[in-house]
Amino acid sequence: MAVIGIDIGGSKCAIVRTEELPVEGSPFPYDRLEFPTTDMAETLERIHGAIEKLGPGDDPLFGVSCGDPQNSLAGIILSPPNLPDWDRVPITDNLTGRFGGTAWLMNDANAGALAEWMFGAARGCRNVIFCTHGTGMGAGLILDGRLYEGETGSAGEIGHLRMAPDGPVGYGKEGSLEGFTSGGGIARMAQSAARDRGGRVDFNPTRDIDEITAREVGEAALRGDDLAIGILAESGRWLGRGLAILIDILNPEMIVLGSLYSRIGEFLRPTMEEELRKECLPRSLEACTIVPTELGEEIGDHAAITVALYRSQQMI
């Protein structure tokens, strides 16, 4: 039986296939195809083509990981900010209508939480928060040993929290946690700093201000650029304030932070930890370990497969 994971992102899609449901906690082999995300119609065709190339077989299981908003129960994608023309796309019906089998849709933060809990850094934990901490900022919650999704499947949308009356825009809201801490937010902070300096900064001497990226900021920080280091320190401070809210409310055993923390955590960690010490209940903070994703760049692949694994187990 083929198990096929589909990770739909704003910039790229990955299709992964394994021959049988993996065993929780054990590594599993899989085949993989990746391609850029373009418009909805073209991307769907490329998803179909990749599935056919990998071989769906008879009665496949599909796990689809994609950003919110979505109706995960109905399997419908509802115009995520990074997929603006994916409006009411019935992705699970689309897949089963073409290939048969069974398909499930889940938001990427929940899928990432499951992946780290079953195969990554949070193995053996009962209370875990996974934060995407990439282009956007969302959270998946494992509480008392099970995924907590909330009434509409949107539990954990921490990026929407307003942390300040104004500030970088993230999740459509000024001063949001996503605005201060995501890759998009870090880029906007750098763009604002460049404007304050008359339009030029050392790590982007020639290109248009609006083209500055979080990757450039991180690379400049690694080279010792003071402005870039300061931007990341400020982002880390807001990250700490946001995580403090989660720690005080949910009392997790572990928080796993996604891709940005894995790459530039050394610049975020000092101010993040400073804010955590200031803001958190001491016993709750002492009980919580904060770590980067163990699955690294493969987390999207594992997350999509894990959607099928988790949902199929719920059916037993």
Whether the Cβ atoms of residue 141 and residue 153 lie closer than 8 Å to each other: no
**Same domain (yes/no): 222, 106:** no
**Same domain (yes/no): 26, 141:** no
**Same domain (yes/no): 146, 267:** yes
Q: What is the pTM of this model?
A: 0.91
Q: Which pLDDT score, from 0 to 100, does residue 253 have?
A: 98
Q: Which pLDDT score, from 0 to 100, does residue 316 have?
A: 40
Whether the Cβ atoms of residue 128 and residue 117 lie closer than 8 Å to each other: yes
pLDDT in tens, 43-63: 999 999 999 999 999 999 999
- Cα 224 to Cα 229: distance, rounded to the nearest angstrom: 7
**Same domain (yes/no): 54, 200:** no
- Determine the Cα angle at 45 with ends 44 and 47, to 5°: 65
**Same domain (yes/no): 224, 301:** no
Q: Which pLDDT score, from 0 to 100, does residue 255 have?
A: 98
Whether 153 shows a pLDDT value over 90: the answer reads: no
**Same domain (yes/no): 137, 265:** yes
**Same domain (yes/no): 290, 301:** no
Separation of CA 161 from chain center: 16
Q: Looking at residues 142-169, what average pLDDT do you find?
A: 92
Q: Looking at residues 197-216, what average pLDDT do you find?
A: 78
More confident residue, 136 or 44: 44
Q: Which pLDDT score, from 0 to 100, does residue 206 have?
A: 64
3-21 burial, b at 16+ Cβ within 10 Å, e below that, comes to bbbbbbbbeebbbbbbeee
Indicate the number of domains in the chain: 2
Q: Looking at residues 82-102, what average pLDDT do you find?
A: 94
Strands (E), the chain: 3-8, 12-18, 31-36, 61-66, 70-71, 76-78, 87-89, 102-107, 128-131, 139-143, 146-148, 169-170, 173-174, 254-257, 289-292
Whether the Cβ atoms of residue 55 and residue 41 lie closer than 8 Å to each other: no
Whether the Cβ atoms of residue 234 and residue 109 lie closer than 8 Å to each other: no
Q: Looking at residues 266-287, what average pLDDT do you find?
A: 98
Whether the Cβ atoms of residue 143 and residue 120 lie closer than 8 Å to each other: no
Structural domain for 235, as ranges: 121-294
Which of the residue ranges 81-90, 123-132, 229-238 would you say has the lowest mean pLDDT? 81-90
Q: CATH number of the domain that 65 lies in?
A: 3.30.420.40
